[in-house]
Chain A
Amino acid sequence: MLSRDEDILKAAEDWRKSGRGVALATVMETWGSAPRPIGSNLVIDDKGNFLGSVSGGCVEGAVVTEALDVIESGKPKMLEFGVADETAWNVGLSCGGTIRVYVEKVK
């Protein structure tokens, strides 16, 4: 994979080791046109800082918000985004695709 993906996972490790709460988001499934390939990562810390991308900008805000919950609860979540989603007005994918993003805490 691309070197910047390596940097994202290294950042996840470094952030956690420095004591920050960290979540990792991964694009696991896509239908139709999707801006980022399966396996793309976003790493989020407990202050809402993030690195990487799961959609090229369309749904990152929503993923970060959910990630803060996951860091709090420790329970992984599968998020789905697409035009048919109820939140589409706010965070839907303008390209018309659907993606599923898995968000897990780095423990």
Chain B
Amino acid sequence: MDLGVLANLNAERAARRAVVVVTDVTSGAQRLVKQSDVMKDPLKDLLEKHLRMAKSGMEETPQGRVFFTVHVPSPQLVITGAVHISQALAPIGQLLGYDVSIVDPRTAFASIERFPDVKVIAEWPDKALPPLNVDRYTAFVALTHDPKIDDPALLHALSRECFYIGALGSRKTHAKRVERLKAAGKSDADIARIHAPIGLPIGAVSPAEIAVSIIGEITARLRQKSETAS
């Protein structure tokens, strides 16, 4: 590996951007493919597959045997609302490998007793969210049911590339939310990124079951191609 390739690789990783090293194991030839260059690459289908699964591996290509070394930033889960569902969703998210943060300005909810092992930020979304670096490896959920807290949080998420956005609330609640977000200047296409009602339809009843339906939907968005995800 050229030192230049290695230095570029480390720089991309430090910046939380996905990157793949493509090695022709017969000739030793090697190149670095940045996330932003995947779509114009001759091996784009294989690159896209390996990036989506976050898995390194050997592939047979017309040019011979090629190894893809995949480097993907660890995903994060940002939860607005230190509510009952969050008490289940946070540990499940951690189990699945997410860095979890919870934002809720209501200090009675956002207490260390209720969330002993999670990063809890007892601030309004406008202050708490910008430092969290909500990026394309972020799943974002709004669970407070309170427009004063959920709306600014969702507006922040919609201004970022996060791979999943979900908001708690019935169809009726969501219809009202859509009106407010439109009034705040968001387009239909933007608003369509929000999964609401949140979660897979598995008949979830308890807070923990709702957490399972949410994490199932997040996993589908993370792992399935966008056109096949529900």
Contact = CB atoms under 8 A, between A and B. Distances in A.
A73 to B, nearest CB: 12
B225 interface: no
Contacts of A13: 3, 6-7, 10
A17 interface: yes
Interface residues of B, number: 21
Contacts, number: 53
B25 A107 contact: no
Contacts of B7: 13
A106 interface: yes
Nearest to A100: B58
A78 B9 CA distance: 22
A16 B10 CA distance: 13
Interface string A63-107: 000000000000110100000000000000000000000101111
Interface residues of A, number: 22
Contacts of B28: 75-76, 104
Interface in A33-91: 38-39, 75-76, 78
Interface string B22-63: 010100101000000000000000000000000111100000
Interface stretch (B64-72, B134-142, B179-187, B188-196): B64-72
A103 to B, nearest CB: 11
Given A78-B25, A102-B23, A106-B6, A38 B57 contact: yes
Contacts of A105: 1
A1 B69 CA distance: 11
A10 interface: yes
A10 B67 contact: no
Given A10-B10, A16-B6, A107-B2, A1 B67 contact: no
B10 A29 contact: no
Contacts of A29: 58
Contacts of B25: 28, 76, 78, 102
Given A24-B6, A38-B56, 14 more contacts: A1-B72, A6-B10, A6-B13, A9-B6, A9-B10, A12-B6, A13-B6, A13-B10, A17-B3, A28-B58, A38-B55, A38-B57, A102-B25, A107-B2
Interface of B: 1-3, 6-7, 9-10, 13, 23, 25, 28, 30, 55-58, 67, 69-72
